[in-house]
Structure 1
Amino acid sequence: MTAEIETPAATGSCCSPAGGCHSGEATDVQVGAVTTVYRVSGMTCGHCEGAVSGELSGIEGVSSVKAVAATGEVTVISVAPLDEETVRAAVDEAGYELVGRA
């Protein structure tokens, strides 16, 4: 199944009187979100990814976590910058070591 893409009118604007892109519809973009990538050592599998993701998800303000064992990187999206010691404690609680930011 393919999605049809609507192109802007010839006026050069994506907006229209009917609402267009500013109609108040929800989007996947989190305005003001902070994305930080951390390096974590010791992750080797999906279980490791889940353990690290679970602990980091418990930090207040965190809205998304994606851990990738193959690269040792964990991407965290939060409403504000996180305190690195709080992140380190969560990773430690999961049984792994925070190396630092990637």
Structure 2
Amino acid sequence: MTAASTNGSCCTPESSCHSGESAAQAGEITTTYKVTGMTCGHCEGAVNSEISELDGVVSVRAEAATGLVTVVSRAALDEAAVREAVDEAGYELLGPA
């Protein structure tokens, strides 16, 4: 008997498994923004920290190499608030990627 066919399994009938938590749970919104000026891990941390403080933000992942910042939130975020957070970190938000 496989894990997918046993009662109490974490797997769905379609055989996809989950651990109980993921980057974006049902009802959460994932938005990717383009940010200029990030060059290193410190930059990523500064952007992550500022955006994480916005109401409704579940997770943030900034990548200096690509200039992309992926934000998971409980509801759509106000772009002006995201722009202000990125500005506070010392970088420039170009907009959604």
Q: Same fold (TM over 0.5)?
A: yes
Number of residue equivalences: 88
Aligned partner of 1:79: which letter? R
Match for 1:20: what amino acid?
Answer: S
- Compute the displacement of 1:26 (Å): 6.5
Instruction: Provide the residue aligned with 1:28 in structure 2.
Output: 21
Deviation of residue 31 (structure 1)? 1.6
Partner SS, residue 4 of structure 2: coil
The one-letter amino acid paired with 2:9 is G
Which residue does the alignment assign to 1:8? 4
Aligned residue for 1:8, secondary structure, equals: helix
Q: Which runs of 4+ in 1 moved over 4 A?
A: none
Q: 2:15: which partner in 1?
A: none
User: Gaps spanning 5+ residues in structure 2: where?
Assistant: 12-17
TM-score, structure 1 as length reference: 0.78
Equivalence map 1:14-93=2 (5 Å): 18-21=7-10, 27-29=20-22, 30-93=25-88
Amino acid at match of 1:27: G
The percentage of counterpart residues that share the same residue type is: 58
TM-score in terms of structure 2 length: 0.82
Unmatched tracts of structure 1, length 5 or more: 1-5, 10-15
Larger radius of gyration: 1
